[in-house]
Amino acid sequence: MCGIWALFGSDECLSVQCLSAMKIAHRGPDAFRFENVNGFTNCCFGFHRLAVVDQLYGMQPIRVKKFPYLWLCYNGEIYNFKQLQKQFGFEYQTLVDGEVILHLYNRGGIEQTASMLDGVFAFILLDTANRKVFLARDTYGVRPLFKVLTDDGFLGVCSEAKGLINLKHSTSLCPKVEPFLPGHYEVLDLKPSGKVASVELVKFHSYKDEPLHAACDSVETLPSAGFDLETVKSNIRILFENAVRKRLMAHRRIGCLLSGGLDSSLVAAVLLKLMKEINISYPLQTFAIGMENSPDLVAARKVAAHIGSEHHEVIFNSEEGIQAIEEVIFSLETYDITTVRASIGMYLVSKYVRKKTDSVVIFSGEGSDELTQGYIYFHKAPSPEEAAEESERLLKELYLFDVLRADRTTAAHGLELRVPFLDHRFTSYYLSLPAELRIPKNGIEKYLLRESFEDSNLLPKEILWRPKEAFSDGIASVKKSWFSFLQDYIDQQIDDLLLEKAVEKYPFNPPKTKESYYYRQIFEKHYPGQSNWLPHYWMPRWVKATDPSARTLKHYKSATQE
């Protein structure tokens, strides 16, 4: 996890512009470099480093003797860099996994490069010999990337939008900053003036397709094909374990967030099992957060005892959570209701990890709810086919919601997030399964995933079959949800009249509740006029919901009242 920043064709003094690069310093607390491009006085790279691999030669932009005309700034981890080296005979100059991007590009161009990378990444690649700039981002947007491109060819690129919004440019008072689409690469021509012109934006991978790099994966082919239940369950176990195993690549201590829900518990259990297999010497630290008597804390304690992790609990009160709202919204760069709610707990636990422990590489369970139909409202899906379509829509928008939350809350404290549920092989296989296999069964969501690990003894049965609990709900007691604490406080902060006039003040995505208005107000304070970064609020489907919390849904209420 690092912070990348680059400008091409700046009219303003670079020493002034580079102050914007410091807005993302939290992403790389270990080192910083600012470098001009030879022959282009108005082009430069900025890089904030979190040293996870190759402590000696890991600074960026990466340049190697073999390709002196290539400059690479990237944020991410490429898990198959050794397999690609073996397959194509690449001679690496460093131990940095991202160096493979230079070799792939030299061998087969940008299309093959993006398609062959198994990992999470956002990168800026400059080819001064051919006068090209390339931008690319991984399939699910696990690593963030924003860009600004003006009509006269000034390009700014950054890991977070906050590094671009204050850039100065002669022809535009407020250039439009927008997220770079996941699963895409863009080709731009670099003119002698340092300005650029976009040539094409290409989608290089659809998450339903098996990725091109599957051919050189450590699990090349699955032992058996077909959709009989035992085969499917076995394949799910094999691919999930493989997803966790490849993410063990690190020179810094590994930890795991543990809410006690199915997803984070499975990640923690498999992670600890594999760490033992490869003889990692230190114990796995797991981290849970909650208010006094929260269901998450109780469940996480059971999991930690079962798997034998070194468990840490972070207990917070409503006042501490409320005090964190503004800094959380600033970190997130969004005003989405459920994202803000869920981010507060994750932000506070990440703060604890950074201050009180030496764990830096943090595993988490993001992506499972979208992939395996874990949200409560999937019980109301009209048909398996519509449920499958909804699952794909959620995956497509992950970069706006859960993946955004997970990246920003951990990156704000200089931690690196790893999310095995969003492994390319695992997700493409799961999405290839018949729609009727993936729907909730017997009133239980994620039934297939749970059933796949039924006989593994990885988790206690009551955890394996624990019903879905939204992170923003599970961290508080059943008697009073976290969102209820928030709403009680915000009711005192926002006047009824303000809410009545919300549509006039905020015509795009107008707030419909005081809570929503409060978040929007803070967002606009830090990012005025940028409300289009969030195309729409996250809300459940097929139910008449006015609030995104699972605890407001009928299915949840009936389950807790039994």
Residue with tokens 């000034």: 154
Tell whether 181 and 263 lie within a shared domain. Answer: no
Annotated binding site for L-glutamine: 97
Report whether pLDDT(235) > 90.
yes
pLDDT of residue 560: 42
114, exposed or middle or buried, with CB in 10 Å at 0-12, 13-18, 19+?
Answer: buried
The whole-number average pLDDT for the span 98-123 is 97
Tell whether 343 and 435 lie within a shared domain. Answer: yes
Tell whether 243 and 359 lie within a shared domain. Answer: yes
Could you give the maximum distance between any two Cα atoms of the chain, in Å?
A: 71
Q: Residues 284-313: pLDDT tens digits?
A: 999 999 988 888 899 999 999 999 999 999
Which of 305, 304, 403, 310 minimizes the C-alpha distance to 353? 310
Structure tokens at 450: 């749970």
Report whether pLDDT(556) > 60.
no
Classify residue 540: in a domain, yes or no: no
Tell whether 284 and 187 lie within a shared domain. Answer: no
* pLDDT winner (highest mean) among 212-216, 485-489, 551-555: 485-489
Q: Looking at 472, 490, 508, which one is the last position of a domain?
A: 490
The Cα-based distances of 509 to 86, 99, 504, 526 in angstroms read 50, 42, 11, 17
Q: How many CB atoms lie within 10 A of CB 460?
A: 17
Least confident of 16-25, 66-75, 91-100: 16-25
The Cα-based distances of 489 to 347, 484, 492, 549, 550 in angstroms read 19, 9, 6, 17, 20
Least confident of 48-57, 296-305, 422-431: 48-57
Classify residue 118: in a domain, yes or no: yes
Banded pLDDT at 363 (limits 50, 70, 90): very high
Percentage of residues in the chain with pLDDT exceeding 90?
A: 75
Tell whether 9 and 112 lie within a shared domain. Answer: yes
Which of 277, 297, 298 minimizes the C-alpha distance to 289? 297
The Cα-based distances of 194 to 4, 42, 132, 301 in angstroms read 19, 6, 11, 56
Classify residue 502: in a domain, yes or no: no
Compute the distance between CA of residue 448 and CA of residue 83 in angstroms, rounded to an integer.
31
Number of C-alpha atoms within 13 angstroms, CB side, residue 376? 24
Classify residue 396: in a domain, yes or no: yes
Classify residue 517: in a domain, yes or no: no
Tell whether 37 and 173 lie within a shared domain. Answer: yes
Classify residue 504: in a domain, yes or no: no
Report whether pLDDT(12) > 90.
no
Classify residue 516: in a domain, yes or no: no
Report whether pLDDT(348) > 90.
yes
Classify residue 527: in a domain, yes or no: no
Report whether pLDDT(54) > 70.
no
User: How many domains does one find in the chain?
Assistant: 2
Q: Looking at 470, 490, 510, which one is the last position of a domain?
A: 490
Tell whether 140 and 264 lie within a shared domain. Answer: no
Tell whether 165 and 66 lie within a shared domain. Answer: yes
The Cα-based distances of 61 to 2, 96, 190, 242, 391 in angstroms read 12, 12, 18, 31, 37
pLDDT of residue 55: 58
The Cα-based distances of 387 to 44, 343, 500 in angstroms read 46, 26, 36
Banded pLDDT at 208 (limits 50, 70, 90): confident
Q: Residues 504-530: pLDDT tens digits?
A: 999 999 999 999 999 999 999 999 999
Q: Looking at 466, 490, 514, which one is the last position of a domain?
A: 490
Annotated binding site for ATP: 257, 289, 364-365
Tell whether 57 and 135 lie within a shared domain. Answer: yes
Compute the distance between CA of residue 267 and CA of residue 150 in angstroms, rounded to an integer.
43
Annotated binding site: 97, 257, 289, 364-365
CATH of the domain at 107: 3.60.20.10
The whole-number average pLDDT for the span 467-471 is 63
Q: Residues 309-331: pLDDT tens digits?
A: 999 999 999 999 999 999 999 99
| CB contact at 8 A, 365 and 266 | yes
Tell whether 263 and 328 lie within a shared domain. Answer: yes
Please list the active-site residues.
2
- The residue type of 221 is T
Cis, peptide link before residue 211, omega less than 30° from 0: no
Residues in Cβ contact with 543 at an 8 Å cutoff, skipping those fewer than 6 apart: 377, 380, 553, 554
Tell whether 439 and 478 lie within a shared domain. Answer: yes
Residue with tokens 């409560």: 376
3-state class percentages of the chain: helix first, strand second, coil last, to nearest 5: 45, 20, 40
CATH of the domain at 256: 3.40.50.620
Residues in Cβ contact with 337 at an 8 Å cutoff, skipping those fewer than 6 apart: 513, 515, 516, 519, 537, 538, 547, 548
Question: Mean pLDDT, the chain, as a whole number?
Answer: 91
Least confident of 29-33, 56-60, 88-92, 417-421: 56-60
Tell whether 185 and 247 lie within a shared domain. Answer: no
Domain range enclosing 254: 232-490
* Residue 558 DSSP code: H
Q: Residues 251-295: pLDDT tens digits?
A: 899 999 999 999 999 999 999 999 999 999 999 999 999 988 888
| CB contact at 8 A, 92 and 67 | no
